[in-house]
Amino acid sequence: MRDTRAPTSAQFGWLLAAAAATLAPHAVELPYWLIALCAGLIAIRAALLWRRGKPPRQLLILLVAIAAGVGVRFEFGHFFGKDPGVALLAVLLCLKLLESRTARDLRAAVLLAYFLQLGLFFYNQTPGIAALALAGTLLTTTTLLSLEDAAARPAAQLRTSAVLIAQGLPFMLVLFVLFPRVQGPLWGLPSDAYSGMTGLSDTMSPGSISQLGLSDAIAFRAEFSGMPPPPSQRYWRGPVLSRYDGRSWRPGFSTLAAAPPYETSGRAYKYRLTLEPHNQPWLLALDFPAANIPRARYAGDYRLLAEQPVRMRTRVELRSYPATTVGKDENAFVLAEARRLPADLNPRSRALALEIAAKSVDPAAILSGTLEHLRGMSLTYTLSPPLLGTHAVDEFLFDTRQGFCEHFASAFVFLMRAAGVPARVVTGYQGGEINPVDGSLVVRQSDAHAWAEVWLAGRGWVRVDPTALSAPARIESGLSAALQEWDALPLLRRPGLDWLRDMRHRWEALSNTWNQWVLGYNSDRQRDLLEWFGFPQPDWRMLAMLLGVSATTLMLLLMAWAFAQRRRHDPLDAAWSRFSRKLAHHGAGRHPWEGPLDYGKRLATIFPGRAKPLREISEGYARLRYGAQTADPRSVRLLARSIRRLKLK
Amino acid sequence: MLPRPDALRHRHGLGDWRRHLVTLRATLDRVLFHIGPPEPAPIVLGQRRIYVLPTPAGLAFAAALLVMLIASINYNLSLGHALVFLLGGVSVASIVHAFRNLLHLSFTPGRAEPVFSGERAGFHVIVANHRNARRPSLRLGAHGAVVPFEIDAEDRADVNIPVATTARGWMTLGRVRIETTYPLGLIRAWSVLVPDQRCLVYPTPEPSPPPLPEGPSSTPGRRAGSAGDDDFSGLRRHQPADSPRQVAWKTLARGGPMLTKQFTGMDGGKIHLDWNDLPADLGTEARLSRMTAWIVAAEQRGLAFALTLPTVSIAPGQGSEHSANCLRHLALFGTEGPADA
């Protein structure tokens, strides 16, 4: 009955503000035509509100809805999934706004706005987005409040909803920490759930890694317990590429097992990787990870793989032993694959390789001879190498002489294979930057790298980084140090912007904390935290109990607050009600309509023996309460005392 | 009222389950809400008699939160969890706000002017807020009528609940519901109270009654001295219902109090409204209805009249007090409670 009232323009105003605040951050993700449509619909609603016009016909709204639906279908190709879902919700919210006639419609629009606030987190969960969503929540809550309390001033409405949200925050905190976390997904996610992730791919063609070199996005973070390894040992292993078709490198044959195909030895580095989602299975461990890593598998080419592609921020606790010897007894098939080359390509390089091989006694000598030769060729390391033709290695080595790590690795492996030595390309990340604020090692997409592995009898697979020959600084100090002045660099990697880098370090340390404790809070974190608080082996029963206890405590605190603001205690009123109560015990309570003087008279007839004090008290009260002068505290105290001392028997 | 046996028999089937419903409700009231006979004033709402339940809008909100929680779990949205928990916390806080909006309100029965049956009785309830904060968005309801109101800090509100009347006699206000869905409309807090308040309902005046029985029909020859019936006999205090023709304007003009002139001819019992003079085929309610109409007419014209009922006889008189007294007897005619006070 109540909800059919037409909302006031103030109530509409709140909802419009809430809708605009909710939709604005979505503008980054939504298609342009949809943003224009939503903005237009909101503007029409605002104009109608301004001119006190009526909402448009239902049929028109239905037609716009159908058109928007068709548009979404064309834009995304389907209706299911987060992108079309968010787009449809945005259109729905705007149309609901336009057609709203009753308070009930406004409530429905508020629910849509809440869904859209959740939808923001599909794309982005930074503190900034959280703050925007919180502002949206404040406005939607104010909309609900204005529907109930239209008479209050807008500032008071805003304040009340802020109080409500402030009171909701402790509940949020308790639930966030203690609500049993379920590791999603609950069912198969739509195909677009993980779109838009950057990272290495499992093939390497010219330009694929230098493209990543321009991206400042964080690939993963590593927190070492103890000293991190020196920069020259920070090789994070990704895809290992053994098949070459003259243009692209692809992964070769590899086994997959629950245990590593090597025995670790030497010094260990213990660290925790926090991987940004990249939608691929590799875990990018330092060479060579130890056994018994939960939910991980070991590839024959020494990659560490997750059971599922890494689709959300993932933490892995790792130990790596860089000094481990690997592949002494390598499979003949793998070695054959590591020697294979496509025929009729790069004749000049082949000739060079054969020339070096002829001068060498064994593969180790071929290796050092090739490196020696490459060093003498004065190759240049650059982010923007010239394009290469069919004989890519020849052109790089003898004509352009400019290349990125992928050219160096590719050319080196080609030479080794041409000379008959098994070799392969390894991609991954190299280096990383220590954030001085929290000490974590940050590895970015721009640290993506390609190097080589050569198999030597008796020594197994040996890592060789041909890039180091021309640009040793790349390995020691990272990309920016190795590049020439004319290379375009990500802004924050440029030298001379120390203050900017410092600010970024702080910001990234903060967002790392945010990532670890807010975004990455999952069942493991929950267990760790509870154990840290001294609850051993927390299970769901323990969680439920803690949750119950905390929620009850909070509720009791709120109730205490509700009771705290009782009537302001007026001593005169208190004394007078004490008097009435006292006489009520003797069967002579005051009637509600009875004034003090009449009451006094009546009491005098009921208790003739105490007539005098009774009349004195009632007259005294009347004088203090209704007299011309305000009651002075002393007389009030005297009256209260005579009431206390009054004896009726 | 006296239920007529034939009417009762007529509604037997319906009346049966209706009566069951009424007794069920009374039992529920007693067991759940501790509601029994009218409570002495002032009624102060303590925490034990305020109840809270979600509204339909609140249930929709909860369903939306559930969907949002599932989406957050499915997509591993930590901030989604946070948003859902925050909104959950806000709705929990709103329970306390709704509860607090009713807590310690005090209710005192106010005026309830007599009305004629068929009119709306106006039950005034004085609701006092002793807290130093506004109490917005309150609703008081009884007998199907709902009155929205709000009270400022340390203030009181005189809430008039209009209740349709259907039968003469005492009408009790009965159970009154105070409720609020403040602050967000998600939670309804309510309490049920029974203020000790009743309203006198006069019989419905007959729509077009026969003319007043002036003249000799009932008391032949009693109109003697009609020419001098306006002999001035004195003054009495003015009452709002007195005809303006009888106001002592000269006294008022001299700065005196507002007085009503009384005339000797008027208390001579010229009009006698006698139950027994009415046609024999007229039923009880019809008789009462006609006499009510006559009393209204007589008062409007400022005439004096006497009233005789089978149970009581009222001496001739005039003025609003007299009329009210007569109407009261008519209203309570045949009811269990005597026309007390």
| pLDDT, greater one: B41 or B180 | B180
Overall average pLDDT of the A185-194 stretch? 57
State the average pLDDT for chain A.
83
Question: What pLDDT, on the 0 to 100 scale, is given for residue A630?
Answer: 67
Q: How many C-alpha atoms does B64 have within 13 Å on its Cβ side? A: 23
State the average pLDDT for chain B.
80
Helix (H, G, I), strand (E, B) or coil at A637: helix
The DSSP element (H or E) to which B125 belongs, if any, is strand B120-128
Is pLDDT above 50 for A509? Answer: yes
pLDDT digits (tens, 9 = 90+) for A230-258: 888 889 998 899 888 888 888 888 888 88
Cα end-to-end span (Å), chain B: 19
In angstroms, the CA B279 to CA B4 distance is 20
pLDDT digits (tens, 9 = 90+) for A110-125: 999 999 999 998 888 8
Helix (H, G, I), strand (E, B) or coil at B187: strand
Question: What pLDDT, on the 0 to 100 scale, is given for residue B227?
Answer: 34
Overall average pLDDT of the B124-128 stretch? 91
* CB A133, CB B79: distance < 8 Å: yes
> What are the phi and psi torsion angles at A449 (to 5°)?
-150, 160
Sign of torsion over alpha carbons B235, B239, B240, B242: negative
Q: Which of A509, A515, A539 is nearest to A526 (CA)?
A: A539
How is the beta sheet containing A256-257 ordered, strand by strand? A256-257, A296-299, A304-306
In angstroms, the CA A412 to CA A429 distance is 18
Q: From chain B, pick out residues whose CB is under 8 angstroms from the CB of A588.
A: none
Residues 370-389 of A with CB under 8 A from B: none
Question: What pLDDT, on the 0 to 100 scale, is given for residue B9?
Answer: 43
* CB B305, CB B298: distance < 8 Å: yes
* CB A405, CB A382: distance < 8 Å: no
pLDDT digits (tens, 9 = 90+) for A528-563: 788 888 777 777 788 888 888 998 999 898 888 887
Q: Which of A262, A406, A249, A263 is nearest to A337 (CA)?
A: A249
Cα end-to-end span (Å), chain A: 58
Question: What pLDDT, on the 0 to 100 scale, is given for residue B228?
Answer: 39
Q: Which of A10, A64, A58, A7 is nearest to A40 (CA)?
A: A64
* CB A449, CB A440: distance < 8 Å: no
Q: Which of B35, B53, B58 is nearest to B45 (CA)?
A: B35
* CB B127, CB B191: distance < 8 Å: no
* CB A417, CB A339: distance < 8 Å: yes
Share of chain B above pLDDT 70, in %: 81
pLDDT digits (tens, 9 = 90+) for A412-450: 999 999 998 999 999 989 888 888 778 888 888 888 888
* CB A453, CB A424: distance < 8 Å: yes
Q: Which of A88, A64, A63, A62 is nearest to A75 (CA)?
A: A88
Tell me B160's DSSP state.
E
**Contact across the interface for A148 and B134, Cβ inside 8 Å:** no
**Contact across the interface for A565 and B73, Cβ inside 8 Å:** no
Residue type, A497: L
| pLDDT, greater one: A58 or B7 | A58
Contacts (Cβ under 8 Å, ≥6 apart) of A239: A200, A201, A202, A204, A251, A282, A303, A426, A427, A428
**Which of A150-154, A186-190, A607-611, B152-156 is predicted least confidently?**
A186-190
Is pLDDT above 90 for A217? Answer: no
Overall average pLDDT of the B187-196 stretch? 90
Q: Which of A124, A120, A118 is nearest to A514 (CA)?
A: A124
pLDDT digits (tens, 9 = 90+) for A359-375: 888 888 998 889 888 88
Q: In this complex, which of B67, B85, B109 lies closest to A171 when CB atoms are compared?
A: B85
- What burial letters (b/e) apply to A465-483, b meaning 16+ CB within 10 Å? bbbbbbbeebbeebbbebb
Q: From chain B, pick out residues whose CB is under 8 angstroms from the CB of A183.
A: 76
Is pLDDT above 90 for B61? Answer: yes
In angstroms, the CA B159 to CA B139 distance is 10
The pTM assigned to this predicted structure is: 0.67
Question: What pLDDT, on the 0 to 100 scale, is given for residue B225?
Answer: 37
Overall average pLDDT of the A10-17 stretch? 90
Provide DSSP, A316-377: EEEEE-TT----TT--HHHHHHTT---TTS-HHHHHHHHHHHHH-SSHHHHHHHHHHHHHTT
How is the beta sheet containing A460-464 ordered, strand by strand? A249-251, A235-244, A423-430, A448-456, A460-464
pLDDT digits (tens, 9 = 90+) for A597-642: 888 888 888 888 888 888 888 888 888 888 777 667 788 888 888 8
Question: What pLDDT, on the 0 to 100 scale, is given for residue B222?
Answer: 39
* Pairing verdict, β B176-180 and A460-464: unpaired
Residues 31-90 of A with CB under 8 A from B: 82
Q: From chain B, pick out residues whose CB is under 8 angstroms from the CB of A22.
A: none
Q: From chain A, pick out residues whose CB is under 8 angstroms from the CB of B89.
A: 167-172, 175
In angstroms, the CA B307 to CA B318 distance is 11
pLDDT digits (tens, 9 = 90+) for A464-504: 988 887 777 776 666 666 665 555 555 556 666 677 777 77
Provide DSSP, A2-34: GGGSPPPHHHHHHHHHHHHHHHGGGGGTS-HHH
In angstroms, the CA A286 to CA A228 distance is 11
**Which of A106-110, A125-129, B24-28, B93-97 is predicted least confidently?**
B24-28
* CB A164, CB A156: distance < 8 Å: no
| Neighbour tally for A390: CB within 10 Å | 11
Residue type, A470: S
In angstroms, the CA A90 to CA A30 distance is 9
**Contact across the interface for B103 and A562, Cβ inside 8 Å:** yes
CA distances from B185 to A108, A139, A618, B129, B182 (A): 13, 15, 46, 21, 6
**Under the phi-then-psi rule, with left for phi > 0, alpha for psi from -120 to 50, and beta for the rest, what region is A313?**
beta
Q: Which of A133-142, A207-216, B173-182 has the highest mean pLDDT?
A: A133-142
Q: From chain A, pick out residues whose CB is under 8 angstroms from the CB of B105.
A: none
- Looking at the annotation, which residues of A are catalytic? 405, 449, 465
Q: How many residues does chain B have?
A: 341
* Largest separation between any pair of C-alpha atoms in chain A: 137
**Contact across the interface for B93 and A167, Cβ inside 8 Å:** yes
Question: What pLDDT, on the 0 to 100 scale, is given for residue A138?
Answer: 95
Rg (CA), chain A: 38
The torsion of the CA quartet A587, A593, A596, A602, rounded to 10 degrees, works out to -50
Residue type, A185: P
The DSSP element (H or E) to which A48 belongs, if any, is helix A32-51
| Neighbour tally for A229: CB within 10 Å | 18
**Which of A151-160, B9-18, B304-313 is predicted least confidently?**
B9-18
In angstroms, the CA B105 to CA B100 distance is 10
> Rounded to a whole number, what is the distance in Å from the CA of B36 to chain A's nearest CA?
21
Provide the angle, in degrees to the nearest 10, between the axes of the packed helices A82-99 and A103-123.
160
* CB B45, CB B104: distance < 8 Å: yes
Question: What pLDDT, on the 0 to 100 scale, is given for residue B83?
Answer: 95
Q: Which of B124, B84, B129 is nearest to B105 (CA)?
A: B129
CA distances from B120 to A3, B112, B162, B171, B201 (A): 26, 11, 6, 11, 10
- What burial letters (b/e) apply to A554-567, b meaning 16+ CB within 10 Å? beeebbeebeeeee
In angstroms, the CA A330 to CA B217 distance is 136
CA distances from A481 to A216, A382, A406, A409, B174 (A): 16, 11, 18, 19, 88
Q: Does A521 touch chain B if contact means CB atoms closer than 8 Å?
A: yes
Contacts (Cβ under 8 Å, ≥6 apart) of B103: A562, A563, B45, B46, B47, B50
**Contact across the interface for A555 and B186, Cβ inside 8 Å:** no
| Neighbour tally for A462: CB within 10 Å | 17
Q: B85, B111, B150, B186: which to substitute to probe chain A, counting the most A Cβ within 10 Å?
A: B85
**Contact across the interface for A193 and B75, Cβ inside 8 Å:** yes
**Contact across the interface for B132 and A592, Cβ inside 8 Å:** no
Q: Which of A182-196, B216-230, B307-321 has the highest mean pLDDT?
A: B307-321
Question: What pLDDT, on the 0 to 100 scale, is given for residue A260?
Answer: 87
Q: Which of B281, B291, B115 is nearest to B218 (CA)?
A: B291
Q: Is A602 exposed, middle or buried (0-12, 13-18, 19+ CB in 10 A)?
A: middle
Question: What pLDDT, on the 0 to 100 scale, is given for residue A636?
Answer: 83
**Which of A231-235, A294-298, B126-130, B248-252 is predicted least confidently?**
B248-252
| pLDDT, greater one: B87 or B206 | B87
In angstroms, the CA B106 to CA B126 distance is 8
Q: What pLDDT band is residue A345 in, cutting at 50, 70 and 90? A: confident
